[in-house]
């Protein structure tokens, strides 16, 4: 069956971009320059904002680890996992984006553990797969954070 | 100063997994509080229920649900929800009614019947709900956030998993003395270290369980207490239900991203610190006046953060304070003399009320083997997801 690739949430990251061009998509207020992720399309949340338009903006490709943890037990629905398959823990990482002055959460790329993500180390956002529904042939895509080797580790 | 209201009665249903509905627990706690206050149910002129999202419609209209379970008698009713902070909002609502002269005697009740395992979001496909999204997109359970905070402390301050385990050991020792606690056995550091890893660096015994439980308070005006011959009641002197300020730069449940600080510099004071400060200011007391504190130890590591947020020590000094023994029973300022969430597990809408029940017992000098000698001033602190502060200062 042909596979359909569908973002887990539409509009949160670039689709059909090459890995090096993949970005999270937020919105930026034209009035106060505040950035919102997940995207805020209705209103700027800065109470001192003079008012402006919210425009889509790609977030920084790289950031630094604010903290990380892992999920050793299967999360409840609506997280999708095969109840018949053994649970494979995954890593969650909170990433500080310097230009946006904010922290964004995400799963780490498969195989990346907490030991690979010391606080302050550099990571980059890459496309990833969240789950696959074999019955309908749907692949839900997402974003992952991946360590950047130290020699190129400048955010 | 806003003015005092009296706590005339406090009652609880023991925490645990009892297999009954939240209404049953709430009614038992309410009747215990009424008996403790020595007043009849018909004298209550207002009922405030802390809602639960796990009990269907009766949970959303908790105030009326409890009023009906006790028997309709015409009292005014309100129901409030603020996640873990629901209890504090119920107390705040009761206090406002009493101080405004709308009611002399108010019954506050919170109760929950919790499912086993992780809390999960409400059902259905709800992509506009951040609580639904964090599970769908990230599988980010509550313990995952606790794990992030704990590792951040380890990196910033050098806290260790051994420090976190000592919080559990301390709270289990206190909880073993509390007949309302769910877990009543002492726990060793080795047992914590030997428990299963849930959200690295936190293990099963670092993370609070989800429990059934109920707590209730009978609150009244100082004048009503005097008329009843209660000359020196426990008084609620400050209640904080504040929200954060923009930009909030610490990732909070259920957020996937923080606010951006591009336009506005973040406040030097954390949201949690502002919760306690607001209650202190309203009560006209400070951390140095405290006899004891009840804080929301959703995880062992989070209890250390609260030490700093309520002003018992400076940022990063929580583990040092713990190791000094100051926050254990017999220490300078015992924290979670009740045993805390470590010994209770969380019964969301009841928990902030249960914290005040413990202060009430302690300030009355009736906490038995857990008694903090000469207790005069206590604070409770708590935080509900989606930006709810919760703190109560009680004095005697």
pLDDT digits (tens, 9 = 90+) for B289-300: 999 999 999 999
The residue range of the domain holding B29 is: 5-117+212-233
- Tokens representing residue B46 in the block: 């207002």
Specify whether B153 is located in the same domain as B55.
no
Closest in B138, B156, B261 to A105, CB measured: B138
For residue B116, what pLDDT is reported?
79
CA dist B396 and B394 (Å) reads 7
pLDDT average, residue stretch B43-72: 97
Specify whether B313 is located in the same domain as B170.
yes
CA dist A101 and A26 (Å) reads 13
Specify whether B166 is located in the same domain as B256.
yes
pLDDT band at B78 (very low <50, low <70, confident <90, very high): very high
Contacts of B258 in chain A (CB under 8 A): 102-104
Which H or E run includes B214? strand B212-220
pLDDT band at A2 (very low <50, low <70, confident <90, very high): low
pLDDT for B141-180, tens place per residue? Answer: 999 999 999 999 999 999 999 999 999 999 999 999 999 9
For residue A154, what pLDDT is reported?
54
Specify whether B64 is located in the same domain as B152.
no
Look at strands B234-240 and B5-16 and give their pairing. Answer: antiparallel
pLDDT for A102-120, tens place per residue? Answer: 999 999 999 999 999 999 9
Specify whether B46 is located in the same domain as B188.
no
Specify whether B382 is located in the same domain as B305.
yes
pLDDT of A27 strictly over 80: yes
Across the interface, do B258 and A102 touch by the CB < 8 Å criterion? yes
Closest in A32, A69, A90 to B263, CB measured: A32
Contacts of B125 in chain A (CB under 8 A): 78
Closest in B137, B144, B196 to A69, CB measured: B144
* Alpha helix stretches (DSSP H) within A29-154: none
pLDDT for B244-297, tens place per residue? Answer: 999 999 999 999 999 999 999 999 999 999 999 999 999 999 999 999 999 999
Specify whether B250 is located in the same domain as B368.
yes
pLDDT average, residue stretch A26-55: 97
ipTM at complex level: 0.96
Closest in A29, A33, A78 to B136, CB measured: A78
Q: Give a yes or no: residue B136 inside a domain.
A: yes
- Tokens representing residue B284 in the block: 């006209």
Contacts of B257 in chain A (CB under 8 A): 26, 36-38, 102-105
Closest in A72, A90, A102 to B257, CB measured: A102
For residue B268, what pLDDT is reported?
95
Sequence ranges of the domains in chain A: 60-148
Specify whether B244 is located in the same domain as B270.
yes
Question: Which residue is listed with tokens 């609502």?
Answer: B93
Is the distance from CB of A94 to CB of A68 less than 8 angstroms? yes
Best residue of B157, B200, B246 to probe chain A, by most A CBs closer than 10 Å:
B200
Tell me, rounded to whole angstroms, the distance of Cα B296 from its chain centroid.
Answer: 6
Across the interface, do B257 and A33 touch by the CB < 8 Å criterion? no
For B79-95, b/e burial (b = at least 16 CB within 10 A) is bbbbbbbbbbbbbbbbb
Specify whether B261 is located in the same domain as B318.
yes
Specify whether B243 is located in the same domain as B357.
yes
Q: Give a yes or no: residue B144 inside a domain.
A: yes
Closest in A29, A104, A119 to B155, CB measured: A119
Best residue of A27, A69, A131 to probe chain B, by most B CBs closer than 10 Å:
A69
pLDDT for B176-213, tens place per residue? Answer: 999 999 999 999 999 999 999 999 999 999 999 999 99
For residue B308, what pLDDT is reported?
98
Q: Taking CA atoms, what residue in B is nearest to A130? A: B137
Best residue of B135, B149, B263 to probe chain A, by most A CBs closer than 10 Å:
B263
Across the interface, do B152 and A67 touch by the CB < 8 Å criterion? yes
Number of domains in chain B: 2
- Total-model pTM: 0.96
Is the distance from CB of B267 to CB of B275 less than 8 angstroms? no
CB within 8 Å of B53: residues ≥ 6 apart: B59, B60, B81, B122
Provide the CB-side half-sphere exposure for A50 (13 A, CA): 5
CB within 8 Å of A17: residues ≥ 6 apart: A23, A127
Nearest to B137 by CA among A129, A89, A2, A52: A129
Q: Taking CA atoms, what residue in B is nearest to A115? A: B200
CB within 8 Å of B1: residues ≥ 6 apart: B237, B282, B283, B284
Q: For a pLDDT cut of 90, what percent of chain B falls above it? A: 95
Cα-Cα-Cα-Cα torsion B54, B57, B61, B62, nearest 10 degrees, comes to: -40
For residue B7, what pLDDT is reported?
98
Across the interface, do B151 and A68 touch by the CB < 8 Å criterion? yes
Q: What CATH number has the domain bearing residue B17? A: 3.40.47.10
For A36-65, b/e burial (b = at least 16 CB within 10 A) is bbbbbeeebbbeebeeeebeebbbbbbbbb
pLDDT of A1 strictly over 70: no
pLDDT for B298-317, tens place per residue? Answer: 999 999 999 999 999 999 99
Q: Give a yes or no: residue B294 inside a domain.
A: yes
CA dist A65 and A42 (Å) reads 29
pLDDT of A87 strictly over 90: yes
Nearest to B92 by CA among B74, B112, B106: B106
Q: Give a yes or no: residue B109 inside a domain.
A: yes
Across the interface, do B264 and A46 touch by the CB < 8 Å criterion? yes
Specify whether B187 is located in the same domain as B76.
no
Specify whether B70 is located in the same domain as B141.
no
Contacts of A32 in chain B (CB under 8 A): 262-264
Contacts of A80 in chain B (CB under 8 A): 136
Nearest to B328 by CA among B166, B194, B184: B166
pLDDT average, residue stretch B84-104: 97
For residue A17, what pLDDT is reported?
84
Question: Which residue is listed with tokens 């690295």?
Answer: B200
pLDDT average, residue stretch A3-28: 94
Best residue of A8, A54, A72, A99 to probe chain B, by most B CBs closer than 10 Å:
A72
pLDDT for B341-353, tens place per residue? Answer: 999 999 999 999 9
Residue A2 Cα, gap to closest chain B Cα (Å): 23
């Amino acid at each position: 069956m042909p596979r359909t690739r569908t973002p887990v949430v539409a509009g949160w990251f670039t689709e059909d971009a090459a890995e090096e061009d993949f970005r999270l998509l937020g919105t930026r207020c034209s009035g106060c320059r505040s950035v919102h992720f997940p995207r805020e399309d209705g209103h700027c949340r800065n109470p001192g904002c003079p008012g402006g338009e919210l425009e889509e903006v790609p977030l920084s490709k790289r950031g630094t680890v604010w903290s990380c943890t892992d999920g050793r037990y299967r999360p409840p629905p609506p997280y999708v996992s095969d109840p018949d398959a053994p649970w494979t823990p995954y890593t969650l990482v909170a990433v500080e984006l310097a230009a946006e002055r904010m922290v964004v959460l995400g799963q780490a790329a498969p195989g990346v553990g907490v030991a690979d993500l010391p606080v302050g180390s550099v990571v980059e956002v890459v496309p990833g797969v969240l789950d696959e529904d074999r019955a309908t042939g749907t692949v839900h895509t997402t974003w992952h954070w991946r360590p950047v080797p130290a020699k190129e580790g400048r955010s | 100063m806003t003015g005092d209201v009296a706590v005339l009665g406090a009652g609880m249903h023991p925490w645990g997994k009892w297999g009954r509905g939240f209404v049953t627990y709430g009614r038992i706690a309410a009747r215990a509080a009424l008996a403790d206050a020595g007043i009849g149910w018909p004298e209550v002129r207002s009922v405030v229920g802390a809602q639960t999202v796990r009990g269907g419609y009766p949970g959303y209209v908790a105030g009326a649900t409890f009023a009906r379970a006790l028997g309709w008698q015409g009292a005014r009713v309100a129901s409030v929800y603020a996640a873990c902070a629901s209890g504090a909002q119920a107390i705040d609502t009761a206090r406002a009614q009493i101080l405004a002269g709308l009611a002399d005697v108010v019954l506050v009740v919170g109760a929950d019947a919790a499912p086993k395992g992780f809390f999960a979001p409400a059902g259905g496909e709800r992509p506009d709900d951040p609580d639904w999204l964090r599970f769908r997109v990230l599988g980010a359970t509550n313990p995952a956030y606790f794990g992030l905070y704990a590792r951040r402390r380890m990196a910033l301050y050098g806290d260790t998993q051994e420090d976190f385990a000592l919080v559990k050991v301390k709270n289990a020792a206190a909880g073993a003395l509390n007949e309302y606690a769910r877990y009543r056995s002492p726990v060793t550091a080795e047992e914590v270290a030997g428990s299963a890893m849930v959200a690295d660096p936190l293990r099963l015994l670092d993370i609070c369980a989800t429990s059934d439980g109920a707590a209730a308070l009978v609150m009244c005006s100082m004048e009503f207490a005097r008329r009843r011959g209660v000359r020196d009641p426990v008084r609620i002197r400050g209640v904080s239900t504040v929200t954060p300020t923009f930009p909030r730069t610490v990732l909070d449940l259920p957020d996937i991203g923080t606010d951006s600080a591009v336009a506005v510099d973040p406040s030097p004071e954390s949201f949690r610190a502002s919760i306690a400060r607001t209650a202190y200011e309203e009560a006209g007391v400070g951390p140095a006046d405290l006899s004891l504190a009840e804080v929301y130890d959703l995880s062992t590591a989070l209890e250390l953060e609260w030490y700093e947020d309520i002003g018992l020590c400076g940022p990063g000094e929580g583990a040092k304070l713990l190791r000094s023994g100051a926050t254990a029973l017999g220490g300078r300022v015992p924290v979670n003399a009740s045993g805390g969430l470590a010994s209770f597990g969380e019964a969301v809408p009841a928990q902030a009320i249960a914290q005040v029940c413990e202060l009430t017992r302690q300030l009355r000098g009736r906490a038995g083997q857990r008694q903090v000698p000469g207790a005069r001033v206590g604070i409770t602190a708590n935080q509900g997801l989606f930006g709810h502060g919760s703190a109560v200062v009680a004095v005697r």
